[in-house]
Amino acid sequence: MSQKNNKNNQESEFVEIFNYAGIKPTEKRIAIFKGLKMAGKALSPYDLVQYCKQNLGLTLPAVSIYRILDLLVAADLVHKLDTVNKYICCTHIDCHKPHPHTQFLICSLCQKVEEVHMPAELMAQLSAQIQSHGYQLNSPQFEFQGICTDCQALEEEAASNA
Amino acid sequence: MSQKNNKNNQESEFVEIFNYAGIKPTEKRIAIFKGLKMAGKALSPYDLVQYCKQNLGLTLPAVSIYRILDLLVAADLVHKLDTVNKYICCTHIDCHKPHPHTQFLICSLCQKVEEVHMPAELMAQLSAQIQSHGYQLNSPQFEFQGICTDCQALEEEAASNA
DNA sequence: TGTGATATGTTATATTGTAACATTAAGTGT
DNA sequence: ACACTTAATGTTACAATATAACATATCACA
């Protein structure tokens, strides 16, 4: 099977995902989604402009990126990380069902993002607490800031040198 | 006791707080801190420019606000809400001791912020979970987005009218 | 009172985000 | 195939946010 076929398979996979999500699979939308998936980390809209230009040879105006990202977020194919104003590809795009609470761990130094799963019970307790204070969660998404293992190691190294 | 004396008492209270926090109690710093306290809600740096001009008759360049806010945050007199890029006065400035985990509930519609206290055990479990994924929390602060009771009511009203 | 350190102001500019409108492309019915 | 409508993207302009580099002012202390 040639590279071209692999590529086409991937493209058609995206088309399928878009169709399932109920949004039209246009060239630009797929490119942005693909870029975000390829990048494997959270990107800002302007990061994506760069990424698409360098890695996909596609020059898009920032405005289009903003618009398309909004669309992808609304379709739940992409998550917006409010704490850092970046976007990340949903890891559940293959399981075609609404997914439960999503928790993101964001490294405040290198900005690496991990989508993790915490015990459902713990998240339920947390939600209950928040609701007991009168707040209704609008999205089942939590973002937590921390320092990832890599950056912890770097920090320790720097400290021992100083 | 005259208004003037009340004001002076308040000012001197601020001076005391600043001294305790180890930062010099300059006029501008106190003004910004006071403004944030008076406002009683989270403000962006540019919001604060407006607020100080209108309510304190003090015109400060945004740059100074940024700088002073950074300082106040470092001194733990003010919290920065990363999710909304706003600042809010710490509610514990009177208790002169390092305070434990702080949780903020932020209304995603009206931006009202409440600093709440959740069960220490729940927060400990949450921290443990986050750390078990290799992330070390850099600040004991959680921000949760939701819709406050007031805005919930407004939404229901709007829905019934439609 | 002079002098170094700290605090604030000025100017300029980078970055991020949106609004208003123009253009292009894609469907739809005849 | 044709005109016609709608959706998608691009262009331009600009508002809002944030920071960098440097200038000036203020304070503390010898």
Report the pLDDT value the prediction gives residue B154, as an integer from 0 to 100. 85
Residue B120 shares a structural domain with residue B147? yes
pLDDT greater than 70 at residue A71: yes
Element counts in chain A: helices (H) and strands (E): 6, 6
Which residue gives the smallest C-alpha to C1' distance to D7? A24
**Beta-bridge mates of residue B137:** A146
Residue A135 shares a structural domain with residue A69? no
- Nearest residue of chain A to residue B137 (CA atoms): A146
What are the φ and ψ backbone dihedral angles of B125, each rounded to 5 degrees? -60, -40
What are the C-alpha distances in Å from A147 to residues A35, A39, A154? 26, 20, 11
- The rounded percent of chain B whose pLDDT value lies above 90 is 56
Three-state SS for A109? coil
Three-state SS for A98? coil
Which residue did the predictor score with more confidence, A13 or A51? A51
Domains contained in chain B, number: 2
Q: For residue B134, give the nearest of A119, A133, A149 by CB distance.
A: A149
pLDDT greater than 90 at residue A146: no
* Structural domain harbouring B129: 99-162
Task: Give me the torsion for CA of B35, B38, B41, B42, rounded to 10°.
Answer: 10
| CA–CA min distance A7, chain B (Å) | 34
Question: Within 13 Å, how many C-alpha atoms sit on residue B106's CB side?
Answer: 25
CB contact under 8 A, B144 and A134: no
Residue B158 shares a structural domain with residue B87? no
* CATH code where residue B66 lies: 1.10.10.10
Residue A27 shares a structural domain with residue A55? yes
CB contact under 8 A, A146 and B152: no
Report the pLDDT value the prediction gives residue A13, as an integer from 0 to 100. 87
Query: In the structure, what pLDDT confidence band is assigned to residue A3 with cuts at 50, 70 and 90?
Result: very low
CB contact under 8 A, A122 and B119: no
Report the pLDDT value the prediction gives residue B2, as an integer from 0 to 100. 40
What are the C-alpha distances in Å from B142 to residues B42, B86, B119? 15, 14, 13
Residue B81 shares a structural domain with residue B108? no
Rg (CA), chain B: 18
Report the pLDDT value the prediction gives residue A154, as an integer from 0 to 100. 85
State the average pLDDT over residues A128-144. 87
| CA–CA min distance A112, chain B (Å) | 11
Residue A86 shares a structural domain with residue A13? yes
Task: Tell me if chain A has a CB within 8 Å of the CB of B155.
Answer: no
Residue A9 shares a structural domain with residue A30? yes
| CA distance linking residue A35 with residue A87, whole number of Å | 11
Report the pLDDT value the prediction gives residue A100, as an integer from 0 to 100. 62
Q: How far is the CA of A69 from the C1' of C29 (A)?
A: 33
| CA distance linking residue B127 with residue B141, whole number of Å | 10
Task: Tell me if chain A has a CB within 8 Å of the CB of B146.
Answer: yes
| CA–CA min distance A23, chain B (Å) | 26
Boundary (domain end) residue, out of B72, B91, B110: B91
Rounded (to 5) percent helix, strand, coil in chain A: 50, 15, 30
CB contact under 8 A, A146 and B138: yes
Model's pTM, two decimal places? Answer: 0.83
Residue A6 shares a structural domain with residue A81? yes
Residue A17 shares a structural domain with residue A60? yes
pLDDT greater than 80 at residue B6: no
Nucleotide in closest CA–C1' contact with B59:
C9
Which of A121, A122, A129 is best to mutate for the B interface (most B CBs within 10 A)? A129
